[in-house]
Amino acid sequence: MSLPQDSSAFVSEPVSIGKKGQKVSLSFAVSGLPAGSNPVVGVFDKQGKIVGRTEWQSNTSNPTFAKQFNIMHANSTLLTFSVYNASDSVSATDYLGGVTADVKTLLGNGGKNEVSEGGITFAFTTAMENKGGKKEKKPKEEKKVDPAVAEKLKQKLIAKVDKEGGKKAQDIAGLRDMGGVSYFHVSMEHCAGDFELINIAMEAMNRPCPEDAEERRGGADEIGKVLVSYNDDRLAFVMNVPKNLHDKCAIKDWFGAFTEGFDVVMEGESTEEYMAGWIKQDQEKGIFPMKIRDDMINRGFAFLKAKSLVLDDEDDDDEMVFGDDDYDM
């Protein structure tokens, strides 16, 4: 095979191999050649017939070839890639080595594969065109939501959160009246880690409840509580210790015990009555919102128990901590 000086047209024009199947583009680089090589690679089919070659390069042991091969690939296409140390022609004595690979195999691993033999490595880049030459589908555009519809959905969610907060307030108020416990960890179902919604729930809990109300909600304004809510990305919490309980428990102490051992991002301004924060999910550290919620509630409960602000488990048959499944709303 003679090797005249390659023209720019030769380098830019791809080699087509085969007639049937799905079109696959392939290019490669070679490493491990002797120093000072003048390499060129011939590509052979499974019958040993040459079907194309790369451009000829000079004085390099690690060439990256610009020549692209377009292969019509069906179930299996076996090709041999032989590299020669060429001058103005190629003969068997110029052979340096080569590899044999199936195009189907080269398409695996995202089309990035290395094949080595005899100390020479071919690094292949392979890609398959869409079947039938169809254009790639454009990602679907997000549907625009009518602002009026969005506002209606938001108000519906706020009403649901308000109802959840009000009803859970009545439950913890009832437990306080029966057992004298004034501190609770409350898991919120509908807030989804959103501080705006958690604060709406807190307001609903602290709203006075008229004695003659047809549906009793709220009435937990003199009860210490931390509302806990999570989504896929974070665990959020808002703590409230009303003034009537300050002599028994400082909010910063309860908050510190509740969050001990975690990197907390504080939310808003902290006061003697309110503190809020959140913890970001971190898979590498094993921090998952749903899991750490239970850990933190246990720490908060242990703190309250040590201060004799909640009953021992053996003395109390009621559930002090409300979870996501306590209400059907």
Can you list the alpha helix ranges (DSSP code H) found in 77-194?
103-106, 147-179
pTM exceeds 0.75: no
Q: What is the average per-residue pLDDT within 159-164?
A: 96
203-262 confidence digits (pLDDT tens): 999 999 888 878 889 999 999 999 999 999 999 999 999 999 999 999 999 999 999 999
- The C-alpha atoms of residue 172 and residue 186 are separated, in whole angstroms, by 9
Q: Are strands 112-117 and 120-128 parallel, antiparallel or unpaired?
A: antiparallel
What is residue 322's DSSP assignment?
B
Phi, psi of 210 (to 5 degrees): -60, 140
- The C-alpha atoms of residue 249 and residue 224 are separated, in whole angstroms, by 9
| CA dihedral sign of residues 58, 64, 67, 73 | positive
**Element housing 299 (H / E):** helix 289-306
- The C-alpha atoms of residue 117 and residue 99 are separated, in whole angstroms, by 6
Cβ contact 171:322 at 8 Å: yes
Q: Name the token pair of 299.
A: 């720490």
What mean pLDDT, rounded, does the chain reach?
86
String of b and e for 164-177 (b: at least 16 CB within 10 Å)?
A: bbbbbbbbbbebbe
Question: Per-residue confidence at 135, pLDDT binned at 50, 70, 90?
Answer: low
What is residue 326's DSSP assignment?
S
- Residue appearing with tokens 């004085």: 59
Cβ contact 52:13 at 8 Å: no
Instruction: Name the nearest CA neighbour of 82 among 124, 27, 120, 32.
Output: 120
Q: Name the token pair of 195.
A: 């501080």
67-120 confidence digits (pLDDT tens): 888 888 766 788 999 999 987 778 888 899 999 998 888 888 888 999 999 899
Q: Where are the beta strands (DSSP E) in 22-119?
A: 22-31, 39-44, 50-53, 69-73, 78-85, 95-102, 112-117
- The C-alpha atoms of residue 172 and residue 320 are separated, in whole angstroms, by 8
Crossing angle, helix 251-259 and helix 289-306, to 10 degrees? 130
Q: What does the angle CA 255 – CA 302 – CA 262 come to, to the nearest 5 degrees?
A: 45
Cβ contact 277:292 at 8 Å: no
Cβ contact 155:126 at 8 Å: no
User: 7 or 316, which is more confident?
Assistant: 7
Question: Per-residue confidence at 169, pLDDT binned at 50, 70, 90?
Answer: very high
Residue 199 identity (one-letter amino acid): N
Task: Report the pLDDT value the prediction gives residue 315, as an integer from 0 to 100.
Answer: 43
**Residue 265, beta-bridge partner list:** 278
